[in-house]
Every structure is written in C-alpha cells, then in structure tokens.
Amino acid sequence: MNTELPNPNAVLVIDDEPAIHRLIEARLRPEGIEVTGEVDGERGIARAIAESPDLILLDIGLPVLDGFEVCRRLKDHATTRNIPIIFLTVLPWMYLVWWKRNVYLSILIHCLGNSLGASAALFEFFS
C-alpha cells in the first residue's frame, strides 16, 4: 500500500455493464480495495480527475466515447496521466467462436492500447 497516493488501493471501473462492476467489486473489496465505478466515458474521466484512483479498469466498447478515446484523454490530462490503465474487452472472446484469427485482434488491441499509454489489456471470458 502506497500511503503517498491520494486514495491508496482505489480502483475505478469504467464499464457500461453493471455485471462487470459487481464481479470486480466482489473480487476486490474483500482484499481491502476500494472500488468505484462509472458506466460511461465522460463520467469516468470526470471521476478519475476528481478522485485520482490507483488503477483504472477501462472497457473498450463503451457507447458514445469508446475506451481508446477515454484512455487518450486520461493520458493527456496532468492529473490522470500517470494512473495505470488496464483495458477490459470481450471482443476476442466473441470473435473466437466464428473468427479463427482472433489472435490478430488481440495483438491489435494490445498495440493500440500501448500506443495510448495503457498498461495492459484483459479479455473478459465471462460475458
């Protein structure tokens, strides 16, 4: 625990699916991690700026303002540029069923995410 951070052990989840929020909260809260969430990109950006969480879990497939744009804006803002961001996406799992080249999509998401400053990408196999 880094006590120099404004909100030690705080995770912000930006995902439009309430089930994802519940799943992440159920796993992290027993570990003593504060979990907050927003369901759209604009509100997620505002909350990240206001609260400076330790980590942001960010859905790529958000409506209106997608996760790539949210990441770009967070990395452009002085308050949030050093917060690690991990992309969450269900896309490769959906394509796995009918698109045998899902590995290319996974590589594309990692490369694009890295170019925007994301720390990693996790694929939701529980959608």
The reported pLDDT for the residue numbered 67 is: 86
CATH no., domain 10-123 = 3.40.50.2300
CA angle 94, 113, 75 (to 5 degrees): 135
* pLDDT score at 50: 97
Residues of the chain with pLDDT under 50: 1-2, 92-105, 107, 125, 127
Residue with tokens 């969430």: 37
Supply the pLDDT for residue 31: 85
**pTM of this prediction exceeds 0.85:** no
How many Å apart are CA 53 and CA 74, to the nearest integer? 12
- How many other C-beta atoms lie within 10 A of the C-beta of residue 5? 13
123 bridge partner residues: 89
